Amino acid sequence: RALDGEASFDAVIAADQKIEPRDAMPDAYRAGLIRQIAQHAHSEIIGMQPEGNWISRAPSLRRKAILLAKVQDEAGHGLYLYAAAETLGVSRAELDTALLTGKQKYSSIFNYPTLSWADMGAIGWLVDGAAIVNQVPLCRCSYGPYARAMIRVCKEESFHQRQGYQSLYVLAQGTPEQRAMAQDAVDRWWYPSLAMFGPPDADSTHSAQSMAWKVKRFSNDELRQRFVDMCVPQAEILGVTLPDPNLTWNELRGHYDYTSPDFDELMRVVKGDGPCSRQRLAHRNRAHEDGAWVREAAAAYAAKKNRKVMA
Ligand code: 3HC
What contacts 1, CB < 8 A, 6 or more positions away? 20, 23
- Of 34-38, 40-44, 153-157, where does mean pLDDT reach its minimum? 153-157
- Taking a C-beta distance cutoff of 8 angstroms, is the pair 47, 108 a contact? no
Beta bridge pairs of residue 248: 257
d(CA 156, CA 193): 19
Rounded to the nearest angstrom, the gap between the alpha carbon of residue 207 and the centroid of all alpha carbons in its chain is: 17
| 216 pocket-lining for ligand 1 (C-beta < 6 Å) | yes
Single-letter code of the amino acid located at 105? K
Q: What are the angstrom distances between the C-alpha of 277 and each of 41, 49, 134, 178? A: 17, 11, 23, 29
Q: What is the mean pLDDT of the segment spanning 196-223?
A: 98
What is residue 41's three-state secondary structure?
helix
Would the pLDDT of 93 be above 70? yes
| Structural contact between residues 84 and 37, judged by C-beta atoms closer than 8 angstroms | yes
User: What pLDDT is stored for residue 91 in this prediction?
Assistant: 97
Residue pLDDT, tens place only, 157-184: 999 999 999 999 999 999 999 999 999 9
Predicted TM-score (pTM) of the model is: 0.95
Residue nearest to atom 50 of ligand 1 (CA): 131
pLDDT score at 310:
83
> Which pLDDT value is given to residue 3?
54
**Residue 309 banded pLDDT, cuts 50, 70, 90:** confident
**Amino acid letter at 202?**
A
40 lines ligand 1 (CB under 6 A): yes
Q: Report d(CA 242, CA 129) in Å as an integer.
A: 15
Packing angle of the helix pair 176-195, 144-172 (nearest 10 deg) = 160
Q: How far is the CA of 258 from the centre of ligand 1 (A)?
A: 21
Separation between Cα atoms, residue 70 and residue 24, nearest integer Å:
37
Q: Which of the four pLDDT bands, split at 50, 70 and 90, describes residue 308? A: confident
pLDDT at residue 254 in the model? 98
Please report, for residues 32, 36, 242, the alpha-carbon distance to residue 141 in angstroms, rounded to integers and kept in the order given.
13, 12, 32
The residue nearest atom 25 of ligand 1, judged by CA position, is 204
Contact 19, 144 (CB under 8 A): yes
Atom of ligand 1 nearest to the CA of 197: 34
97 pLDDT higher than 90: yes
* pLDDT surpassing 70 at residue 302: yes
What local confidence, expressed as pLDDT, does residue 230 receive? 98
Q: Which helix (H) or strand (E) holds 64?
A: helix 61-86
Adjacent-strand bridge partners of 19: 143
Q: Does pLDDT of 5 surpass 80?
A: no
CB 73 within 8 A of CB 156: yes
Residue-level pLDDT at 148 = 96
Pocket test for ligand 1, best of 126, 138, 205 (most atoms within 8 A of CB): 205
Query: How far is residue 141's CA from residue 123's CA, in Å, rounded to a whole number?
Result: 25
Q: What pLDDT, in 10s, does the model give residues 214-258? A: 999 999 999 999 999 999 999 999 999 999 999 999 999 999 999
Q: Is the pLDDT of residue 311 over 90?
A: no
User: Is residue 277 in contact with ligand 1, taking CB distance under 6 Å?
Assistant: no
**Helix locations, 87-175, DSSP H:** 92-100, 118-122, 128-138, 144-172
Instruction: Tell me what percent of the residues of the chain surpass a pLDDT of 70.
Output: 98
Mean pLDDT of 42-49: 98
Measured distance CA(113)–CA(117) in Å, rounded:
12
pLDDT at 7: 74
Evaluate the CA torsion angle 133, 71, 52, 274 in order and state its sign: negative
